[in-house]
A and B are shown apart, each in its own frame.
Chain A
């Protein structure tokens, strides 16, 4: 079993998803196997999916974008402040801010040759600061209820505009990674940056581009969530990075870079979304979800450690002696 999971990284997320659904269905079929669970899974998918996609892509090139949390929060606040009369204007401002901040971080990382964790830590604090300043440190209501309701109106039973947008961007990202040269170059950068550079890949431009994409995704996700909740606050959205990082690693992205595909990340997100919806459906208190997300992230982070195989074989040898 373990060998199968290790040998085929793309099967792993699907197996985990199936196992989670089976466990929840066996546990409490009457409450879990409902349309409401599917709807709520897809809404959670829309909330954390795009953040996980952007973060996952930065992990695929062996970087890490910590700033997604700040980006998410800032974009929601900007969208609500600027979009009072025209939702499109607010959305455009939020997306422009997210894209610009992401690109700026990418440029700093590439041009000053700095580690991405440090730069995006600074970025996270600056973006969160902007969110506090924009909202004057309070929760802002969004009065345009038509937009809020429109975003949550069910489409074809279980979808909404938010989840369809997320699914469309996942499909586009999957197509770009699988079919274009840029996609192959991104994988190459993550596997061996020096070799990619020698082979003529424009590493700097792609790194900047990936950080721009990550900023854009987090901003889109944050803005749409704030619209659909009809409010924005500078804090309160901060628990998005735990499921996003867990989803990316569950979906087959390694912090060592070079592995993972957008559809794998989507499966990882769906797994966590189904878990959360399942916990809600069977009436578990909210902290169960938080503990589960933290536990899963700790587990996948430990299993992703570069020394896992070495330690395991040492343990096996020790047992055999």
Chain B
């Protein structure tokens, strides 16, 4: 809003900042690569495998988050809790009715639970941040009510040995993550839904003027976000043969960090899932390097925060609504 009022004052610095973004990005990538490659143990097989596995869980959430960010709704705070709740539902239903039913139940729960939030955001234009914070409280409260002891365990004899192996040298989790990334990118690029999503994110009014049923597209974005987030919970449950609400704690922050570091714009309308893949890898590499360099966990939180703040400050394009 303020840009149109004071063009002389604001346009020059905005343009300057836009031009330095590619330079900053290249410099950061080169420095990161140099530090990573000179860190002893970074290229070892265990370190690589653990990097790819960790990135996969957060990556699935980040793929879902990307759709929400592109639609102009910034982020969802409830995706982390959704991971934990989906894992618990998966374990409970598998114990009760078998693997296939459990898989479907987990996907349906995550998709519908998230789509409900999308409906409130799209149909009533309720504030997405507030709705997702409320959903976070509701999901964790209900989970606490149903699982008094916090953790649910897979029935004895259930084992996913095959799942814990590797495909073409990559952890199965990472292959799933790559598949979901490809699927999400195809949806965004080749469907009318994807094109509408970008239009709504870049200009709500224009999208409304051309007659897009905005609430359907926004609800769809949240539905897909839930469906892409669910595999993170399911895979965590299969890896540990158990589930609790602790599984997803903080995932929403790592996911939004991956989305923003990848270059998807926080105000919406611009971005891609492939960028998020790159962002998730960068965040994962930074975490591995910090661990290998002997920094304690708490410094990782601070550095992640500073990175997000820096990326957001570089994204300035004069939007103040």
Contact = CB atoms under 8 A, between A and B. Distances in A.
B79 to A, nearest CB: 14
Interface residues of B, number: 57
Contacts of A290: 137, 140-141, 144
B130 A301 contact: yes
A305 B129 CA distance: 12
A185 B193 CA distance: 42
Main secondary structure on B side of the interface with A:
helix
Contacts of B267: 115, 118
A113 B145 contact: no
Interface residues of A, number: 55
A113 B253 contact: no
A125 B304 contact: yes
Main secondary structure on A side of the interface with B:
helix
Nearest to B14: A113
A287 B142 CA distance: 7
A84 interface: no
A245 B308 contact: no
A8 to B, nearest CB: 22
A297 B298 contact: no
Contacts of B310: 122
Nearest to A112: B316
A2 to B, nearest CB: 16
A305 to B, nearest CB: 3
Contacts of B129: 64, 66, 117
A115 B125 contact: no
B268 to A, nearest CB: 10
B126 interface: yes
B142 A291 contact: yes
Contacts of A132: 297-298, 301-302
Contact of A119 (B10, B135, B145, B312): B312
A4 interface: no
B303 interface: yes
Interface of A: 64, 66, 108, 112-115, 117-119, 121-130, 132-133, 135-137, 193-194, 197, 234, 239, 241-242, 245-246, 249, 255, 285-288, 290-291, 293-295, 297-298, 301-302, 304-308, 311
Given A112-B316, A115-B321, A129-B305, 7 more contacts: A114-B319, A118-B266, A126-B305, A135-B298, A242-B137, A295-B134, A304-B126
